[in-house]
Amino acid sequence: MATISALGVGSGLDLNGLLNQLNAAERQKLKPLTIQRSQEQAKISAFGRLQSSLDKFQSAVAKLNDASLYSSLSTSVRGEGITASAGSGASAGRYEVEVIQAARSGSLASAGVANNTDPLVGAGGDTLTLAFAGKDDVTIALEEGWSLSQIRDAINAHPDAGVSASLINDGSENGHRLVLSSSETGTAAGIESMAFANGALNEDVISRVTGRDAELKINNILITSASNRVEGAIQGITLELDGTAAGKTATVVVEQDSEVLKDAVKGFVSAYNEMKSTVGRMTKVTGDAATAGELVGDRAIRTIETRLSRDLVSRVEGGEFGILSDFGISLRSNGRLELDETKLDDAIANNSQGLANFFAGSDKQGGMAGRLDQTLAQFLGNEGLIQSSIKSSETRVSSLENRFERMELSIERTLDRYRRQFGQLDSMLSQMNATSAYLSQQFDMLAQMGKQRR
């Protein structure tokens, strides 16, 4: 008997359609696993976003746990020709700065020659000695036949020359000159002379510009500086004099930088509220699994919220400020923080040390910021609560994927069994149909023979 190549051909039944229905019914068993896997993957993503918001909050906490924040100073200059900046060791104060003269570098030119490429150094070579007002001479060897340009290049290539060399042309018949400019400002660094041992070139004494120190008075105290960057004259303060400073007076005011501290506190409030908003979206209850938050009912997120709230409301002992509301931060009923900037401004202006004691404490663990930092570290570390939760969900995803694969194989085996059974049924019905047709044919022939006999 010929084999049946497609289900239903022999029997005339829609066995392929029936097999597809059975396949769809069997694959419904996979749906719960797919849903669970999607839920766990959504949790992993949600914990990642939560970690990001907690990282941001931890950064804001770390700023408040830095004792230097509460002594931050800003500088302002009332006047022209001077800029100022405060560094470590500076103290608040007001300083009158009168600039007598700015520092400058020295310079010296050579006598002119007709062409800067003509040989100048005679037989046997030469040596150039550079003398300075307040430091050791520098000697540079010159080779026979060198031109003015080559002398320039040799000076610039010398690591200790103390000057930079260039060429100028004054436009006269012998107008090509070598010009040396001191690398640093100040009297000591000023170039005093250039001497060629064998007379390759002469200096132009009239062209010499002596190096000069800066001179200024700070609160009527005379100060000298080799540089226009004056450091150490006022402890922790750096003054910069520009070219227009000579003869000018300016007032330098160094005061507490209240804006830096205020911004840090505002950043703390903002980062906490942003984290709470993130948590709120993840724990939103809607009654519909499709729209509810990814972490509704999750034990880890409840632990995080509870411990952070506890740290925020717990009292900090030993200072004038004991709780956040003492300087304008209140915890609202929805769990978010609210800032009264007027009250905070008053605390910063009148008791910044009290804020330092409250947030930073006597050491890194002593204040509220230190307490929060320790709590956050337990959430955010490599072995912390969030990473543990992520790993747990990843393990469940892996397990669900393995179950999914095993169930898919089981479904395929079941469908293969159905397919074989349907094939056997199709063959059997085909045979029965063929037998029925044969018998019908025989009966018809017998009936015809009976009619003929009559």
133-168 in b/e burial notation, b at 16+ Cβ within 10 A? beeeebebebeeebbbbbbbebbeebeebbbebeee
- Top-confidence residue, 286 or 309: 309
Q: What was the pLDDT predicted at 2?
A: 40
Q: What is the mean pLDDT of the chain?
A: 87
The continuous run of DSSP H or E covering 446 comes out as helix 385-453
Give the rounded percent of residues in the chain with a pLDDT score beyond 70: 94
Highest mean pLDDT out of 70-84, 162-176, 361-375, 382-396 = 162-176
Token code pair at residue 209: 């510009």
Q: What was the pLDDT predicted at 14?
A: 62
> What mean pLDDT do residues 342-357 have?
91
Domains and CATH numbers, the chain: 31-69+259-389 (no CATH), 73-102+214-256 (no CATH), 107-209 (2.60.40)
Q: What was the pLDDT predicted at 5?
A: 46
Token code pair at residue 53: 């918001």
**Tens digits of residue pLDDT in 12-59:** 566 677 777 877 777 777 787 777 787 788 888 888 899 999 999 999
DSSP string covering 214-266, please?
A: EEEEETTEEEEESSSEEEEEETTEEEEE-TT-TT-EEEEEEEE-HHHHHHHHH
Contacts of 185 (CB under 8 A, 6+ apart): 103, 104, 105, 211, 212, 213, 214, 226, 227, 228
Q: What was the pLDDT predicted at 363?
A: 77
**Tens digits of residue pLDDT in 299-327:** 988 999 999 999 999 999 888 899 999 99
Considering just the CA atoms, what is the radius of gyration of the chain in Å?
Answer: 46
Tell me which residue of 199, 215, 191 sits closest to 105, measured CA to CA: 191
Q: How far apart are CA 187 and CA 210, in angstroms?
A: 7
Q: How far apart are CA 288 and CA 281, in angstroms?
A: 14
102-131 in b/e burial notation, b at 16+ Cβ within 10 A? bbbbbbbbbebbeebeeebbeeeebebebe
